[in-house]
């Protein structure tokens, strides 16, 4: 939701999101891309959908960590997720997001971050009830992907995210 407020983009999300009330319907309507992580062939379908959207001029947001965390560190990036940008010749824009809370009673890694066994709607409603939460979003300079090696590109992009993430804390 935060990144959608910052820029127009399509998201790649786990297929379970497609079934979420309102969010799933809205995501399908706006042509977000869903990946079935348990189905091997789904990665190729997702890659094709991302390339198609990029070549059509859309911005596509992919969380290269491939999972959620409490936000206390930047996890390793999955280089396979960056391959569609290379295939489409699209630049990659590293983005870092940090969260903080004014109140010491709010544990950002538990109360703000959506991960572990959190259930979406109860988490969302709890989050919406919090006060004094601050988000810092840093958009780094684009990185050219043309002809790049995906593992090297993923490391360059992760390095920029880590640098911006540390600066935003």
Q: Model confidence at 169, in pLDDT bands (50, 70, 90)?
A: low
Compute the distance between CA of residue 163 and CA of residue 16 in angstroms, rounded to an integer.
32
pLDDT band at 156 (very low <50, low <70, confident <90, very high): very high
- pLDDT score at 78: 92
**pLDDT per position as a tens digit, 104-127:** 999 999 899 888 888 888 888 888
**Rounded CA separation 81/87 (Å):** 11
pTM listed for this prediction? 0.88
Mean per-residue pLDDT, 137-155: 97
pLDDT exceeds 70 at position 152: yes
Model pLDDT for residues 67-91, shown as the tens digit of each residue: 888 888 999 999 999 999 999 999 9
pLDDT tens per residue across span 14-52: 888 888 877 888 888 888 898 887 777 778 899 999 999
CA dihedral 64, 168, 91, 45 (to 10 degrees): 20
pLDDT band at 64; cut points 50, 70, 90: very high
- Residue 33 in contact with residue 12, Cβ under 8 Å? yes
Our separate counts of H helices and E strands in the chain read 6, 5
């Amino acid at each position: 939701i935060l990144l959608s407020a910052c820029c127009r983009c399509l998201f790649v999300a786990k297929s379970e999101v497609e079934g979420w009330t309102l969010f799933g319907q809205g995501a399908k309507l706006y042509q977000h891309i869903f990946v079935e992580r348990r189905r091997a062939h789904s990665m190729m379908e997702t890659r094709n959908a991302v390339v198609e959207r990029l070549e059509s001029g859309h911005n596509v947001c992919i969380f290269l960590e491939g999972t959620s965390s409490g936000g206390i560190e930047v996890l390793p990036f999955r280089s396979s997720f960056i391959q569609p940008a290379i295939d489409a010749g699209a630049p990659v824009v590293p983005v870092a997001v940090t969260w903080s809370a004014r109140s010491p009673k709010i544990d950002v890694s538990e109360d703000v971050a959506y991960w572990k066994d959190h259930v979406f709607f109860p988490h969302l409603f709890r989050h919406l009830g919090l006060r004094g939460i601050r988000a810092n979003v840093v958009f780094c300079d684009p990185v050219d992907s043309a002809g790049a090696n995906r593992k090297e590109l993923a490391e360059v992009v992760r390095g920029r995210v880590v640098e911006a993430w540390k600066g935003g804390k």
